[in-house]
Amino acid sequence: MTDTAMMDPVQEVLNKLRPFLLRDGGDCELVDIEEGVVKLRLLGACGTCPSSTITLKAGIERALLEEVPGVVEVEQVF
């Protein structure tokens, strides 16, 4: 079940990070949030980049854990 209360705060953080992804030819899409697990789809260059796992875990996940209470993990969906 989607955690709708977290959608707006998560989207705000993603919007802050989006310019960095776009600069490299990529983007991300919020797919769902279930029990604190944020499910993202990496788009464009980010979807095929060998460093996408690092981007997801070290960049996006770290920012969400710091800024959005209740986030426990970020998971990539395809």
Domains and CATH numbers, the chain: 4-76 (3.30.300.130)
For 49, half-sphere exposure in the C-beta direction (CA atoms, 13 angstrom radius) is: 19
Residues of the chain below pLDDT 70: 1
| pLDDT on residue 47 | 86
Burial class (CB in 10 A: 0-12, 13-18, 19+), 58: exposed
| pLDDT on residue 51 | 86
| pLDDT on residue 1 | 62
